[in-house]
Structure 1
């Protein structure tokens, strides 16, 4: 069994006039990352490995989740603005049983939609807004054995679901 957590980075800060790759999170994004970390821990969705885009906003989202520093993290430019095919290619090189993949739209939303036949019943699933997080299980022994429409949707949330925790 393999478990995948697909997360779009939290809300970023556009005010500083930085290059896209260098944009950090804004205050709302920082609060959302913390709330998403709490949500993942409450449900015992703890990754064995993190595959993270090299962009500053994905790194800051990961930091805000508050996972143990013992969790191996691979920052890669291959996930920066990657399409779903590239993301699947990166995933197939992994060996951990539970992977958190942190990336960007439109690729991450497209990947989420392509991995399952029956998407979660959530009004924001196809928008895949900042902070959207989708947990998917695969009945396989290796990431090389997954393909489109082979995943079982387990859980989905967006920061707005955390009334009172995120502005």
Structure 2
């Protein structure tokens, strides 16, 4: 079995209108929500072996917040995940070494929400899942021995959480 922890980056700052999108940092709420999500993951035993993270500043800062609450795991910061659509995300997922049993991927909307929906055999009837707000996290299990074997419509949603429901 393979487990994907699919997370949208935490809330980012729009305080500098001249700043390039890829360079936007997290705002105060994002800096609070990322470690809170890491704590939730640890409390549920959802511990990744590997991380694939968009190269954007806000996704990297989200990862730093998450990793502050869970055991360290190797991370790859991948430019191709910045504003990626489902096809690019699937390519990254399928390229993950088989030795990793649990993978966290941190990306952006609208791609990450579309990717989550396309991976699931039975998508939930959940408005929060449809919106995939900042720091939304889905836990998706696959009956597969290798990431390269993951296909569309093959995952089972084990858990889904957004920051306001962490309490």
Same fold judged by TM-score > 0.5? yes
For 2:2 and 2:23, the matched residues in 1 are separated by 32
Q: 1:79 aligns with which of 81, 104, 124?
A: 81
Mapping of residues 15-164 of structure 1, within 5 Å: 15-17=15-17, 18-65=19-66, 66=68, 67-69=70-72, 71-95=73-97, 96-163=100-167
Gaps of 5+ in 2: none
Conserved? CA contact 2:11–2:26, under 8 Å: yes
TM-score, length basis structure 1: 0.94
Aligned to 1:7: 7
Check conservation: 1:4, 1:137, Cα contact below 8 A. Answer: yes
Q: What is the count of residue pairs matched by the alignment?
A: 162
Q: TM-score, normalised by structure 2?
A: 0.94
Greater fraction helix: 2
Gaps of 5+ in 1: none
Shift of 1:34: 1.3
